[in-house]
């Protein structure tokens, strides 16, 4: 007998079927055992009755969540109040006559059968192979699949050709420093920041092209909306009139994605209690300069001289678009020339702006794009203005030397659009196996003394760094001090000027917190800021293992210890700060702004 899927049993009432899947839940009711069996199609209830089972019942009693089983049984219709309206197969059940265990699961670290996984992000990702099985988590990637399919379908409908772009490249696409170098035989190569240059080359061959590929950004960032590896839905098209043609295509893609999600993924959207964004018949298109003016009027903050939009400004202009146009999405057009890549077409009427755009939705960027420079000499000049060497872009420039039509394109971040449609807090939730500065499957920062590099002499490492960077500082040598109060007294400095460095664990991850010696950590506030569940101070042994020094001598240089570091916002009120520098008998004093410049911490408000 061939295996049936759970949903297929609805058409097989009265028949004997073979099913296979995972035990989603186990319930006992008197002598009866009820199993929820999960397969790729859904969940179906299995009834095990010792009177009708016909085999040794003792192994069945030992079944537990995530055991993999096959069952033989008869499909029975449920009557009256036995029907489960919350289950797609709730009108039937399977009376099992035989059960085989194909694979036993270990005891689960959490309740996978719960409606919600009450896990921190760290644990959600640490147990990724398991958490992906949960219906609500699995739904994220069914939604993502539909976004991909819809995008590809739209592209084919309007005569775009799909191609595969290389990942290993000879130079940085955008000319920036945020690249991952690769040892490529005896040469240096890089992981591609985007397929941008290859998209443009392919326009000279197929006119209209798209690619679904990976891109890599070595950004030292762990924000809720950045990844080191992400997938881009990249599009490029030739023979455009101007960049309005590109926005028309973006609008078509987005509207089709929303329509397909509504028709195909209502169940998955319902699990996340969300709907696709509301948009007007035509998504509003507003010049960058006008956006800045609108924001000034609405907020009273004069940011009109800034060359980009801050996250708070993106959120505010989205609110404005919804109020004025009934649209949760808005095109911001004509970004300043200084903030766009070298290949961006400059607005002929005002060269300080470009023919470029971002599509913002629900307060965050969804799409970025624009018209490109298509004339060879202009492209060379633009490269030189950005201090790029044209010789590093030979294959790319070759396409322009031999004729390139007016063209442009855009990129949609797949994980980003998934996150925003579903209202997920963190983009890592919308990524199967996220890569960032803290994780490649496993957490890189888990306490591993044998791999963690700690300077042998922390005091010397700090003073050498200060001297190398030509930063003025003052040395103190004094009797041993073990408290902030003792240190302030022996240095002759104010208590609040002390930069107190604490090593802590947040959801099992070691971090450094730096705050004024006059302040204490507000744990509730910190948990909210970091979106963590568990917090504790490191033990003396853990401090020694992570820093190489004793408690009370830890300096505020988490960057030298490979620890993610957070400074409390109140510390910046001090012009100068002082701290024990790896030893109880040695302290240093320097300007706060110099300390922040060297350590590059994240600034949060977590003290009381």
Report percent pLDDT > 90 for the chain: 73
Domain boundary among 386, 409, 440: 440
Position 437 scores a pLDDT of: 78
Q: Residues within the annotated binding site?
A: 174, 217-219, 225-227, 365, 368, 372, 413-416
Same domain, 420 and 467: no
Q: Angle between the 135-157 and 243-264 helix axes, to the nearest 10 degrees?
A: 140
Position 107 scores a pLDDT of: 92
Same domain, 481 and 565: yes
Same domain, 465 and 598: yes
Q: What is the pLDDT of residues 318-332, one digit of tens each?
A: 999 999 999 999 999
Position 450 scores a pLDDT of: 43
Q: Which of 257, 239, 213, 258 is nearest to 405 (CA)?
A: 239
Position 263 scores a pLDDT of: 96
Strand order in the sheet with 535-537: 535-537, 499-506, 509-516, 564-568, 602-604
Question: Does residue 62 lie within any of the structural domains?
Answer: yes
Position 439 scores a pLDDT of: 82
Same domain, 465 and 419: no
Q: Is the pLDDT of residue 283 over 60?
A: yes
Same domain, 423 and 501: no
Q: Output the domain CATH number for residue 17.
A: 2.40.50.140
Domain boundary among 103, 119, 146: 103
Position 374 scores a pLDDT of: 97
Position 60 scores a pLDDT of: 86
Q: Residues within the annotated binding site for L-aspartate?
A: 174, 217, 368, 372
Q: What is the pLDDT of residues 290-317, one digit of tens each?
A: 999 999 999 998 889 999 999 899 999 9
b/e code 486-515 from CB counts within 10 Å (16+ = b): ebbebbebeebbbbbbbbbbbbbbbbbbbb
Q: Is the pLDDT of residue 418 over 90?
A: yes
Q: Is the pLDDT of residue 193 over 60?
A: yes
Domain assignment of residue 364, given as a range: 135-440
Q: What is the mean pLDDT of the chain?
A: 92
Q: Is the pLDDT of residue 337 over 90?
A: yes
**Measured distance CA(283)–CA(474) in Å, rounded:** 58
Same domain, 500 and 432: no
Tell me which range, 158-167, 301-310, 386-395, is most confidently predicted by mean pLDDT: 158-167
Report percent pLDDT > 70 for the chain: 97
Domain boundary among 103, 120, 152: 103
Q: Residues within the annotated binding site for ATP?
A: 217-219, 225-227, 365, 413-416
Model pTM score: 0.74
Maximum alpha-carbon separation in the chain: 88
Beta carbons of 352 and 342 less than 8 angstroms apart: no
Same domain, 192 and 341: yes
**Measured distance CA(166)–CA(163) in Å, rounded:** 10
Q: How many domains are contained in the chain?
A: 3
Residue 335, SS3? coil
Q: With bands split at pLDDT 50, 70 and 90, how would you rate the model's confidence at 445?
A: low
Position 449 scores a pLDDT of: 46
φ, ψ for residue 310, nearest 5 deg: -75, 160
The residue ranking higher by pLDDT, 122 or 200, is 200
Question: Does residue 531 lie within any of the structural domains?
Answer: yes
Position 447 scores a pLDDT of: 45
Question: Does residue 179 lie within any of the structural domains?
Answer: yes
Question: Does residue 124 lie within any of the structural domains?
Answer: no
For residue 74, the surrounding DSSP H or E stretch is strand 68-77
The mean pLDDT value for 572-587 works out to 93
The mean pLDDT value for 371-390 works out to 94
Determine how β-strand 3-4 pairs with β-strand 16-29.
parallel
Q: What is the pLDDT of residues 85-144, one digit of tens each?
A: 989 999 999 999 999 999 999 999 999 988 899 898 888 999 999 999 999 999 999 999
Q: What is the pLDDT of residues 479-504, one digit of tens each?
A: 999 999 999 999 999 999 999 999 99
Question: Does residue 446 lie within any of the structural domains?
Answer: no
Position 444 scores a pLDDT of: 65
182 forms bridges with which residues in the sheet? Answer: 189
Q: What is the pLDDT of residues 545-555, one digit of tens each?
A: 888 899 999 99
The mean pLDDT value for 588-608 works out to 92
Query: What is the residue whose two structure tokens read 């002598």?
Result: 31
Q: Output the domain CATH number for residue 531.
A: 3.90.960.10
Position 533 scores a pLDDT of: 84
Q: Is the pLDDT of residue 422 over 60?
A: yes
Same domain, 295 and 156: yes
The mean pLDDT value for 5-24 works out to 95
Same domain, 284 and 432: yes
Q: Is the pLDDT of residue 421 over 60?
A: yes
Beta carbons of 334 and 353 less than 8 angstroms apart: yes
The mean pLDDT value for 333-361 works out to 96
Beta carbons of 34 and 1 less than 8 angstroms apart: no
Same domain, 436 and 462: no
Same domain, 74 and 181: no
The mean pLDDT value for 197-226 works out to 90
The mean pLDDT value for 275-296 works out to 95
Q: Output the domain CATH number for residue 281.
A: 3.30.930.10
Same domain, 295 and 378: yes
**Measured distance CA(238)–CA(250) in Å, rounded:** 15
Position 176 scores a pLDDT of: 57
Q: What is the pLDDT of residues 447-474, one digit of tens each?
A: 454 445 567 788 988 998 899 889 999 9
């Amino acid at each position: 007998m061939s295996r049936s899927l759970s949903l297929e049993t609805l058409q097989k009432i009265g028949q004997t079927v073979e099913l296979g899947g995972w035990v989603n839940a186990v319930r006992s009711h008197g002598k009866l055992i009820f199993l929820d069996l999960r397969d790729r199609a859904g969940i179906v209830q299995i009834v095990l009755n010792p009177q009708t089972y016909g085999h040794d019942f003792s192994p069945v009693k030992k079944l537990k969540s995530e055991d993999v089983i096959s069952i033989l049984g008869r499909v029975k219709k449920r009557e009256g109040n036995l029907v489960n309206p919350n289950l797609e197969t709730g009108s039937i059940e399977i009376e099992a006559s035989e059960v085989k265990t194909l694979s036993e699961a270990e005891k689960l670290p959490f309740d996978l059968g719960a409606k919600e996984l009450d896990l921190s992000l760290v644990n959600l990702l640490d147990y990724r192979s398991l958490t992906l099985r949960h219906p609500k988590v699995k739904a994220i990637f069914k939604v993502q699949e539909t976004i991909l399919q819809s995008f590809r379908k739209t592209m084919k409908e309007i005569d775009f050709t799909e191609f595969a772009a290389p990942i290993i490249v000879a130079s940085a696409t955008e000319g920036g420093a945020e690249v991952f170098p690769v040892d490529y035989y005896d040469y240096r190569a890089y992981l591609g920041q985007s397929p941008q240059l290859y998209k443009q080359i392919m326009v000279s061959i197929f006119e209209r092209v798209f690619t679904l590929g990976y891109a890599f950004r070595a950004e030292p960032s762990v924000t809720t909306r950045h990844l080191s590896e992400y997938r881009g839905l990249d599009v490029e098209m030739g023979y455009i009139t101007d960049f309005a043609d590109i926005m028309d295509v973006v609008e078509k893609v987005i509207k089709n994605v929303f329509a397909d999600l509504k028709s195909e993924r209502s169940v998955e959207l319902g699990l996340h209690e969300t709907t696709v964004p509301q948009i007007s018949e035509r998504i509003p298109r507003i010049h960058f300069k006008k956006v800045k003016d609108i924001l000034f009027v609405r907020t009273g903050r004069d940011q009109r001289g800034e060359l980009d939009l801050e996250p708070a400004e993106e959120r505010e202009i989205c609110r404005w678009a919804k109020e004025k146009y009934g649209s949760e999405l808005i095109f911001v057009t004509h970004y300043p020339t200084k903030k766009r890549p070298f290949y961006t077409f400059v607005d002929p009427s005002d060269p300080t702006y470009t023919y470029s755009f971002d599509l913002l939705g629900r307060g965050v960027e969804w799409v970025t794009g624009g018209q490109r420079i298509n004339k060879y000499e202009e492209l060379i000049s633009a490269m030189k203005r950005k201090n790029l060497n044209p010789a590093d872009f030979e294959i790319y420039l070759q396409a322009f030397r031999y004729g390139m039509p007016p063209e442009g394109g855009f990129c949609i971040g797949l994980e980003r659009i998934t996150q925003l449609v579903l209202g997920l807090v963190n983009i890592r939730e919308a990524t199967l196996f996220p890569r960032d500065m803290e994780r490649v499957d496993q957490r890189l920062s888990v306490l591993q003394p044998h791999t963690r590099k700690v300077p042998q002499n922390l005091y010397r490492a700090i003073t050498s760094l200060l001297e190398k960077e030509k930063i003025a500082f003052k040395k103190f040598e004094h009797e041993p001090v073990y408290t902030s109060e003792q240190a302030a007294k022996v240095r002759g400095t104010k208590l609040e000027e002390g930069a107190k460095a604490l090593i802590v664990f947040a959801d099992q991850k070691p971090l450094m917190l730096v705050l004024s010696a006059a302040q204490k950590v507000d744990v509730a506030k910190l948990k909210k800021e970091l979106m963590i569940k568990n917090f504790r101070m490191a033990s003396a042994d853990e401090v020694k293992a992570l820093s190489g020094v004793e408690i009370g001598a830890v300096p505020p240089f988490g960057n030298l210890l490979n620890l993610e570091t957070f400074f409390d916002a109140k510390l910046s009120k001090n012009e100068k700060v002082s701290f024990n520098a790896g030893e109880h008998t040695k302290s240093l004093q320097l300007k706060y702004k110099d300390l922040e410049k060297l350590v590059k911490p994240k600034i949060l408000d977590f003290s009381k």
